């Protein structure tokens, strides 16, 4: 099955107590695509970059099997840039700089070949743009998952509700789930969000894992406790990539399938944070992933 990933492809510059990167490859779309590429081969990328975006990164995507014809290059503009510094606890970060650049005008026109994609991952973008992507599909994808953030709740509430009503899965963090629903209890928050449209809600909890609310059932995928978290950037997007990659590979969107998909997502996320940027995602093998999955099984298995 095919997966369409719409999201940012960017430059990141990251500082943690363990070190400082220069300008490296980043962006939600990047992490989703590279993570999913460990599971499936038909991944279509929709994004925009500037003339400063190195050809080597595009080659890297293509080398991982990603279809890059939907990555628009705007020669006389600059690529989206984000810079941040993590606190020692790695759970908080300060944004040092955000330069939207090409992203300010991102309004993707999907290549014809993308419009039959069966799975669609909408990264965090302007809600009206997310909606326009959905409307360009030839037929409604089998599954649409979307990310969003508080900013859109503050600035584009109606547009956001509009697109939320069109998707199958909303994947957000705790704070976002609470703001969107007005409920503190995650159980109540998920129930409220389900009334807005999506039958499935994923609450991403960082180092505490993720909760899936699937109609009236729920499932908890832990995060793997690690010796060292080097760089949390992109963990949530790596998680989404592993999750969508699994569903797409098996062409199965049942609750049982989603549980496994969450564990794959958690596994990919656990690798992603072990090194700066996308480095670890790019070096892991199928064997590494299998070993990590076994670790996850061990981590939560009991026999009452």
> With binding defined as CB under 8 A, does residue 18 bind a second copy?
no
How many residues belong to the site for a second copy (CB under 8 A)? 36
Q: Which two tokens stand for residue 149?
A: 């953030």
Task: Name residues contacting a second copy, limited to 248-267 (CB under 8 A).
Answer: 256, 259-260, 262-263
> With binding defined as CB under 8 A, does residue 220 bind a second copy?
yes
C-alpha dihedral over 274, 279, 149, 190, to 10 degrees? -50
Q: Which two tokens stand for residue 237?
A: 């997007």
Q: Cβ atoms within 10 A of the Cβ of 97, count?
A: 9
Cβ at position 189, least distance to a second copy in Å: 10
Q: Which two tokens stand for residue 102?
A: 């090409």
- Candidates 70-78, 95-103, 232-240, 291-299 — which segment interacts with a second copy by CB under 8 A? 291-299
- Candidates 49-57, 83-91, 106-114, 156-164 — which segment interacts with a second copy by CB under 8 A? 83-91
Per CB under 8 A, the list member of 217, 251, 283, 291 interacting with a second copy is 217
Q: Which of 123, 90, 87 is nearest to 108 (CA)?
A: 123
Given a contact cutoff of 8 angstroms between Cβ atoms, the answer to whether 165 and 131 are in contact is no
> With binding defined as CB under 8 A, does residue 32 bind a second copy?
no
CA-CA distances (angstroms) from residue 270 to 122, 230, 296? 22, 11, 10
> With binding defined as CB under 8 A, does residue 38 bind a second copy?
no
Cβ at position 263, least distance to a second copy in Å: 6
Q: How far apart are CA 172 and CA 41, in angstroms?
A: 26
Tokens 């549980």 belong to which residue? 259
> With binding defined as CB under 8 A, does residue 3 bind a second copy?
no
Cβ at position 168, least distance to a second copy in Å: 20
C-alpha dihedral over 185, 266, 29, 97, to 10 degrees? 70
Q: Which two tokens stand for residue 230?
A: 């080097």
Cβ at position 170, least distance to a second copy in Å: 16
- Candidates 65-73, 76-84, 133-141, 294-302 — which segment interacts with a second copy by CB under 8 A? 294-302
Q: Note the residues at the interface with a second copy (CB under 8 A).
A: 88-90, 184-188, 205, 208-209, 211, 217-220, 222, 225-229, 256, 259-260, 262-263, 293, 297-304
């Amino acid at each position: 099955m095919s997966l369409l990933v719409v999201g940012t492809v960017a430059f990141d510059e990251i500082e943690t107590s363990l070190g400082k990167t220069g300008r490296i490859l980043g962006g939600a779309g990047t992490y989703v695509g590279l993570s999913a590429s460990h599971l499936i081969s038909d991944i279509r990328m929709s994004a925009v970059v500037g003339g400063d975006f190195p050809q080597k990164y595009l080659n890297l995507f293509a080398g991982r099997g990603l279809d890059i014809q939907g990555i628009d290059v705007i020669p006389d503009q600059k690529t989206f840039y984000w810079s941040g510094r993590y606190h020692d606890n790695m759970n908080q970060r300060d944004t040092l700089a955000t330069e939207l650049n090409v992203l300010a005008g991102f309004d993707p026109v999907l290549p014809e070949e993308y419009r039959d994609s069966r799975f669609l991952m909408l990264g965090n973008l302007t809600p009206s743009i997310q909606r326009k992507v959905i409307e360009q599909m030839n037929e409604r994808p089998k599954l649409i998952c979307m990310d969003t953030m508080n900013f859109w709740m503050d600035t584009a509430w109606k547009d956001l509700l509009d697109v939320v009503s069109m998707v199958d899965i909303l994947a957000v963090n705790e704070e976002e789930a609470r703001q969107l629903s007005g409920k503190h209890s995650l159980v109540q928050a998920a129930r409220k969000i389900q009334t807005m449209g999506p039958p499935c809600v994923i609450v991403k909890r960082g180092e505490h894992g993720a909760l899936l609310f699937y109609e009236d059932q729920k499932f908890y995928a832990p995060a793997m406790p690690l010796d060292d978290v080097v760089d949390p950037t992109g963990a949530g997007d790596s998680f989404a990539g592993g999750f969508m990659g699994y569903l797409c590979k098996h062409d199965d969107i049942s609750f049982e399938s989603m549980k496994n998909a969450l564990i794959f997502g958690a596994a990919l996320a656990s690798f992603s944070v072990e090194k700066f940027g996308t480095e670890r995602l790019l070096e892991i093998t199928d064997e590494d992933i299998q070993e990590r999955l076994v670790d996850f099984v061990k981590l939560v298995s009991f026999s009452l």
